[in-house]
Structure 1
Amino acid sequence: MQSILQKATGIGPTPVHPENLNGRVAVVTGGAFGIGYEISRALAHAGCRVIMVNRKAEQGDDAIAAIRKETPSAEVEWQECDMGNLSQVRSVFGKLRETIPRLDFLVLSAGINTNQYGVDADGIDRHFGVNYLGQFYVCNQLWPVLRKTSKMADGATPPPRVVFEASEMHRTAPSNVHFESLDEINNPELGPTELYGRTKLALILLAKYGLAGKVIKQNSDRIYAVSVHPGAVNTAMQQQWKDAYPGITGQLLTWAMLAFGRDVEQGAYSALWALTSPKIEEQEMNGWYFSDPDTPGKETSQASDPKLGSALWDLSERLIKDKLGDDALVDWNASS
């Protein structure tokens, strides 16, 4: 619906179509499907080498074929990884860290929509594991190559950027979030919207107080980390409302999202703007949250709480070490 309105009236998110990204490298989690695919597609058409990471092989094959049909020379490839399996994340992204020569764009777009409570391969609430903790671990595993690339940056090649697909749904996070323990995370009493909203809150906090506030500032790295809201987007993920809320409620929510949401290309504009706009660097907008292209979002008090951001960081590192061992995390000060 929004795409039709935009064509007819010009109302809608500002279109973003990157150009001249030759020689740059991007990794996009969830990059072969939905919003992630549109981000991968736009970057590849602009000459960027794009590595898409998804759970399903058929999505990767289809995405590569579709992109190369439009741009035969596109440098696109695919890796398989389940973001809800920390061991897989370590294996896949650890290998990428050792093999890619540079990393200019890291897009964390993989995720599941609102759904019933359940746990992932590591015994962690699957919303938190897939939408947040797996993405945190991707950042850690690839941070050395981001730092390496930042030292290559010059006037012609801007510093690397990390963009998280957060959401205005962070407003639905439980009011009593503390990020203190796994027991708090694995709470089956929380509803589907609360579980989902908590992960989007976590992504905003990670960009603002984790990467930008803790790592980048302390290391004086020339790397930018931001989070964005894509809008309500017409993707297959909207069908998960039926699973989250069985019955007429779920059917109505699915219908509403599909009827009034943005198309998938529009849903990619916020991330593409955050990846390529010179304004991010010119105005030192590190850690910011954007609700649309060039539109700073209005965060909740939870998303603006540095103590909550610090607690989330500590819990994230603790959970990964508990699951994979004390040597699981790459030193945030390291360079490849």
Structure 2
Amino acid sequence: MQSVLKPVIGPKKEIHDLNGRVALVVGGALGIGYEISRAFALNGAHVFMVNRKEDQGQDAIDKIKEEGGQNVKIEWMPCDMGNLKQIKEVFTQFREKQERLDLLILSAGINANQYGETADNIDRHFQVNWLGQFYVVNLLFPLIRKTSRLPDTPAPRIVFESSEQHRSVPSTGVHFASLQEINDPNFGNLYLYGRSKLAMILGVKFGLLERVIKPNNDNIYALAVHPGAVNTAMQQQWKDAYPGLFGKMVTAAMLAVGRDVEQGSYSGLYAATSPEVEEKGWNGYYLTNPGESGKESAQASDPQLGAALWDLSERIIKDKVGKDALVDWDSAAS
């Protein structure tokens, strides 16, 4: 419905001149990530898209260059957020090769779907939606910090695509205490999805902001956003999550009321580029629409839960990749 009435209702697009800036969009060749990659590239940024499949990346590049011309700066990088060792290899190489990184968008995701585990034997919702992207931020943070110290440079932005579905997690249902808790197949599909989106809000607010940015006096902004119910291919996953008539009904309902994909990118574009974010001091915030600060759930406002998530995330990565897997959060690229 919102997509049909796009000129009348719904969020407004905000995007600014990005000439000279470098952006990396995880999940950047499909859905919301594609629309963000497209907007960045058409407004002058050098964009790197990250997805698993090369054909998706090439299709995205072809479409963007057809629209913006062959001089548009857009590249594709392969990586699976369900493989922590691959993440380390890909993003370590990126950090060592690049001179700057102004915008980091974390939009890879699995919708509410049936329980399954990644190659690392971790709940796939938790790893793809949160843990893998958290690891990307860690590996790239020295480069982002270096960029923030360049003269005449706007504050770099880190944006996670979260969701209002973080409210679907029961008030006593999550502790982020152990991998065993994360890998409980008895949790429902909405819980698994909602928990991963809750993690994004907690990680931004009580992790990146409180543990990294503030202690180092970094001129870096980290935010989580809600894109709205968006008509992407992810909506088809309801059919997998709930086989039969119910799944088909939920899919049809979500597609009927959802925003189109371009509209779904507007919250992320605002968080990544709008001067208002700095003017209003919205570091660590959760935004539900462009220019609208959201009211997150009580769990998403719990500093102890945020600390537990951060500590568990670091423990899992070290266990799966090695004791030296994580980059020192206080370091800067040379």
Asked if these proteins are the same fold (TM beyond 0.5), I'd say: yes
Answer yes or no: is the 8 Å Cα contact 1:114–1:244 preserved in 2: yes
- 2-side partners of 1:146 and 1:287: how far apart? 16
Answer yes or no: is the 8 Å Cα contact 2:16–2:273 preserved in 1: no
What do the CA deviations read for 1:50-93 (whole angstroms, capped 9, x no partner)? 00000111110000000000111210000000001001100111
Between 1:279-288 and 1:64-73, the stretch displaced more is 279-288
Query: Which residue pairs with 1:255 in the alignment?
Result: 252
Other structure's SS at 2:58 match: helix
Query: Which residue pairs with 1:118 in the alignment?
Result: 116
Answer yes or no: is the 8 Å Cα contact 2:16–2:274 preserved in 1: no
- 2-side partners of 1:234 and 1:192: how far apart? 19
Cα distance, 1:260 vs structure 2: 1.2
Aligned residue-pair number: 331
Query: Which residue pairs with 1:214 in the alignment?
Result: 211
Is 2:86 aligned against 1:88?
A: yes
Q: Report the CA distance shift for 1:153/1:260 in structure 2 as closer, same or farther (over 3 A).
A: farther
Alignment TM-score, normalising by the size of structure 2? 0.98
- 1-side partners of 2:323 and 2:297: how far apart? 34
Please tell me the residue identity of whatever aligns with 1:5: L
What do the CA deviations read for 1:168-202 (whole angstroms, capped 9, x no partner)? 00001233210000000001010100000000000
Cα distance, 1:14 vs structure 2: 1.5
- 2-side partners of 1:153 and 1:211: how far apart? 23
Query: Which residue pairs with 1:167 in the alignment?
Result: 163
What do the CA deviations read for 1:217-260 (whole angstroms, capped 9, x no partner)? 11111100000000000011110000001111100010011111
Q: Write the mapping of 1:314-333 to structure 2, written as runs, cut at 5 A.
A: 314-333=311-330
Cα distance, 1:6 vs structure 2: 2.4
Is 2:309 aligned against 1:334?
A: no
Answer yes or no: is the 8 Å Cα contact 2:41–2:47 preserved in 1: yes
Cα distance, 1:280 vs structure 2: 1.3
Query: Which residue pairs with 1:129 in the alignment?
Result: 127
Please tell me the residue identity of whatever aligns with 1:86: L
- 1-side partners of 2:326 and 2:205: how far apart? 20
Cα distance, 1:153 vs structure 2: 4.6
Alignment TM-score, normalising by the size of structure 1? 0.97
- Cα RMSD of the aligned pairs, angstroms, is 0.8
Answer yes or no: is the 8 Å Cα contact 1:153–1:159 preserved in 2: no
What do the CA deviations read for 1:99-125 (whole angstroms, capped 9, x no partner)? 111000000000111100010010000
Is 2:286 aligned against 1:289?
A: yes
- 2-side partners of 1:260 and 1:92: how far apart? 38
Q: Write the mapping of 1:36-47 to structure 2, written as runs, cut at 5 A.
A: 36-47=33-44
Answer yes or no: is the 8 Å Cα contact 1:26–1:48 preserved in 2: yes
Q: Write the mapping of 1:1-336 to structure 2, written as runs, cut at 5 A.
A: 1-7=1-7, 10-16=8-14, 18-72=15-69, 73-154=71-152, 157-175=153-171, 176-336=173-333
- 1-side partners of 2:208 and 2:154: how far apart? 18
Other structure's SS at 1:3 match: coil
- 2-side partners of 1:321 and 1:267: how far apart? 34
- 1-side partners of 2:57 and 2:326: how far apart? 28
- 1-side partners of 2:279 and 2:291: how far apart? 13
Answer yes or no: is the 8 Å Cα contact 1:51–1:78 preserved in 2: yes
Answer yes or no: is the 8 Å Cα contact 1:174–1:198 preserved in 2: no
Answer yes or no: is the 8 Å Cα contact 1:165–1:271 preserved in 2: yes
Please tell me the residue identity of whatever aligns with 1:331: D
Cα distance, 1:332 vs structure 2: 0.5
Other structure's SS at 2:143 match: helix
- 1-side partners of 2:284 and 2:212: how far apart? 11
- 1-side partners of 2:40 and 2:10: how far apart? 21
Answer yes or no: is the 8 Å Cα contact 1:180–1:311 preserved in 2: yes
- 2-side partners of 1:186 and 1:153: how far apart? 45
Answer yes or no: is the 8 Å Cα contact 2:91–2:140 preserved in 1: yes
- 2-side partners of 1:53 and 1:15: how far apart? 23
- 2-side partners of 1:310 and 1:71: how far apart? 44
- 2-side partners of 1:22 and 1:325: how far apart? 38
What do the CA deviations read for 1:199-224 (whole angstroms, capped 9, x no partner)? 00000001111101110011111100
- 2-side partners of 1:5 and 1:23: how far apart? 35
